Amino acid sequence: MPTVSFEHIVKSYGSMTVLNDLNLSVDDGDFLVLLGPSGCGKTTLLNLLAGLLEVSDGRIMIGDRDVTDLDPKDRGLAMVFQSYALYPTKTVHGNLKFGLSASKLPRDEIEKRIAWAARLLQIEPLLNRKPGQLSGGQRQRVAIGRALVKNVGVFLFDEPLSNLDAKLRTEMRLEIKKLHDELKSTIVYVTHDQIEAMTMATRIAVMDGGVIQQFGTPDEIYERPANLFVAGFIGSPAMNLREATLNVSNDRITAQLASGVVLDLEGYDFAETPRNGTKVIVGLRPEHFGAPDVREAKAAATFTLPVQYTERTGSDATVYLKLDNQLLALRVAPDAASRLKPGTSVSVDFLSGKANLFDAQTGRRM
């Protein structure tokens, strides 16, 4: 179960550079999720690791082996594809067996591994069927099985759950997580789904425009987003981002929003010394607002705003308030949301010590 590291990776197509001097290292047994919007380069990075694409410059290491110029089959990897990519004319058994065709194993060892993977994934009754006779979830299990039989240390997943329906996706998410816990292998997993990333990863690399915006544990990424992109990308509903001006005076630091509301920044862990009058962007997570019309003991700011509309998902609800012609989202209990009629004015507190501050010019966390 080796480490995987990308060192100064450059990938360009003609004059277009997709990845430029990218460095990333995954520890032994980590579950790394590459997360980002479409076209951010995450799949390119995975294909470079798999050997399906060639790097223009840089080095890829798996353990202490330099695999940059190795053939895909010699890299000691197994990959699961988005569209399953099962061989349509082979049975499930044949699919699993072909996964081992590069390794020259004795016949009984091959059969032993197939039986092991089939038992682990509960696809034993399906071994003699063709992929066309399987449901989406079963196909995905077979695709994972084809990777498992190779018995390698590093597994690659390329958006493996995005073709499944919502219920199945939740089930498979847990199963993949369980497999990772059992096998203790290193996993590199590409997705654009932040729920998958937050639930499965031990490390997340958020990517945008071919650049790794932040690399850290799911909690770090959620609690302390490194820049405006990560802040806006992670979290649903998205973090409320508002322009503000810093006010520094006698130990008390506040941020004044454009609407005039003053946000108390007591307890904020500044990375640099704040200066008076700096233009900033404050980020307020929807769930860090207190219940409407209930006074919090320690509130950083109080907003009294008209309700624009409410959205209920069953387990919780989102209320959108109107602030300077923009919407301010806050998460509330469903019964509280049902009492709020559009047009009525409510008063909510933002909890102390939960705000995020970003430099308005650089977009970096302050």
Partner 1 sequence: MSQMSASERAAGATEVPVARAPYFVRKKKGISPQSIAIIVFLSMCALFFCIPLYVVVVTSFKSMDQIREGAIFALPQIWTLDAWDHAWNKACSGINCHGLKVGFWNSVMILFPSLILSIALSMVTGYALALWNVRWAGAFLFLLFICAFVPFQIIMYPLIVMTSSMKVYGTIWGVAIVHAVLAMPVLTLIFRNYYKDIPQEIMSAAVMDSGSFWKIFFEIILPMSGNILIVILILQITSIWNDYLIGVTFGGLNGQPMTVNLANLVTISTGTTNYAHNMAAALLTAIPPLVVYFVVGKLFVQGVTAGAIKG
> If binding is defined by CB under 8 A, does position 78 make contact with partner 1?
yes
CB of 65 to partner 1, least distance (A): 17
Q: Which of 357, 324, 361, 354 is CA-nearest to residue 248? A: 357
Angle between helices 136-148 and 107-121 (to 10 degrees): 140
> If binding is defined by CB under 8 A, does position 252 make contact with partner 1?
no
Whose Cβ is closer to partner 1: residue 67's or residue 332's? 67
CB of 87 to partner 1, least distance (A): 5
Whose Cβ is closer to partner 1: residue 50's or residue 228's? 50
Q: Write the CA distances from 321 to 124, 296, 303, 324, integer angstroms.
A: 54, 19, 9, 10
For the residues of 142-208, what is the DSSP string, one character each?
A: HHHHHHHTT--SEEEEESTTTTS-HHHHHHHHHHHHHHHHHH--EEEEEES-HHHHHHH-SEEEEEE
Whose Cβ is closer to partner 1: residue 88's or residue 260's? 88
Reading phi first (left if > 0) and then psi (alpha if -120 to 50, else beta), residue 56 is in: alpha
Q: Scan residues 92-111 and list those touching partner 1 (CB under 8 A).
A: 98-102
Number of helices (H) and strands (E) in the chain: give both, helices first: 9, 19
Whose Cβ is closer to partner 1: residue 72's or residue 137's? 72
Contact region for partner 1 (CB under 8 A) — 16-24, 75-83, 106-114, 303-311?
A: 75-83
Residue 328 tokens, joined? 């301010």
Q: Scan residues 114-153 and list those touching partner 1 (CB under 8 A).
A: 132, 146
Query: Helices marked H in 66-124 — which ranges?
Result: 92-98, 107-121
CB of 197 to partner 1, least distance (A): 22
Among 10, 61, 85, 105, binds partner 1 (CB under 8 A): 85
Among 14, 16, 64, 71, binds partner 1 (CB under 8 A): 71
CB of 149 to partner 1, least distance (A): 10
Q: Which residues of this chain interact with partner 1, rule CB under 8 A?
A: 47, 50-52, 71-74, 77-79, 81-90, 98-102, 132, 146
